[in-house]
């Protein structure tokens, strides 16, 4: 049974939309009547519907944020940094690059110490959990420099499945971008997060990784973010990221 989004004593839906800066109350009413507004995933067309002020709202399937409490960041993890928020041995870790933020932050996924690139950091525990949960199959893209010339047979094997010690790995994309006499640049996209899986894949194919940089998680790209720097993910970018995991 679908739960009725109407909550006696709640806040009028058009008022919440107006407070969020989506539209004036009059225009918000038009959005509601036309079926463009969802409350907790359910379309609401009835004017005057009162809802929980903490309800999840979407307009045109884009998440509506009503406050500034959500903090989600893209961080370009440098080589040699641990993917953890603290380290008892005092080694360089993610927290050293997030000192400007007082919120309790969760990192999304991991990169091994010798890998670089995009890590998402958020104070939204549910977002972090869903982005890492295998059921959502969030795609991640890596640019890898590997030893040797990667041929078509290796690319075909990566797309069809390569057996590792903990089960097969099938790449969503495997594109050789460039090759020299002793190394190749390969773009790899996968939708799982097993430990060191890209490195183990390439080793199994006979091309050990020399350098590994993650460039994308879901809809978020590393772009031109400098090593060690952060960038806020907000507005439409954050809404699109949350849409991937049904938030």
SS3 190: strand
- Listed in sequence order, the DSSP H helices in 64-180 are 125-132, 152-160
Identify whether the C-beta of residue 120 lies closer than 8 Å to the C-beta of residue 108. Answer: yes
Identify whether the C-beta of residue 231 lies closer than 8 Å to the C-beta of residue 224. Answer: no
SS3 218: coil
Tokens of 114: 């010798």
Q: Spot the catalytic one: 4, 60, 112, 236.
A: 112
* DSSP per-residue string spanning 19-56: HTTSS-HHHHHHHHHTT-EEETTEE---TT-EE-TT--
DSSP-derived letter for residue 14 is H
Cα–Cα distance for residue pair 34/190, rounded to 1 Å: 39
Tokens of 104: 């309790």
Q: Is 246 a catalytic residue?
A: no
Tokens of 87: 């380290």
Active site residues: 112
């Amino acid at each position: 049974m679908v739960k009725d989004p109407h909550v006696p004593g709640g806040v009028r839906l058009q008022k919440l939309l107006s407070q969020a800066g989506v539209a004036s109350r009059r225009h918000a009413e038009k959005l509601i009547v036309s079926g463009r507004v969802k409350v907790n995933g359910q379309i609401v067309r009835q004017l005057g519907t009162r809802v929980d002020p903490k309800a999840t709202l979407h307009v045109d399937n884009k998440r509506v944020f009503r406050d500034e409490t959500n903090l989600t960041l893209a961080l370009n993890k440098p080589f040699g940094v641990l993917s953890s928020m603290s380290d008892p041995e005092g080694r360089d870790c993610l927290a050293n690059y997030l000192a400007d933020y007082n919120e309790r932050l969760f990192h999304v996924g991991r990169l091994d110490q010798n890998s670089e690139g995009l890590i998402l950091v958020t104070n939204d525990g549910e977002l972090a959990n869903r982005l890492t949960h295998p059921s959502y199959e969030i795609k991640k893209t890596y640019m890898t420099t590997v030893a040797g010339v990667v041929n078509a047979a290796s690319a075909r094997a990566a797309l069809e499945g390569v057996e590792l010690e903990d089960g097969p790995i099938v790449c969503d994309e495997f594109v050789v971008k460039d090759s020299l006499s002793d190394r190749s640049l390969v773009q790899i996209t996968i939708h799982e997060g097993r430990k060191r899986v890209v490195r183990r894949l390439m080793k199994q194919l006979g091309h050990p990784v020399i350098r590994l940089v993650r460039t994308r998680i879901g809809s978020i790209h590393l772009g031109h973010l400098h090593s060690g720097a952060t960038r806020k993910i907000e507005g439409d970018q954050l809404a699109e990221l949350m849409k991937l995991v049904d938030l």
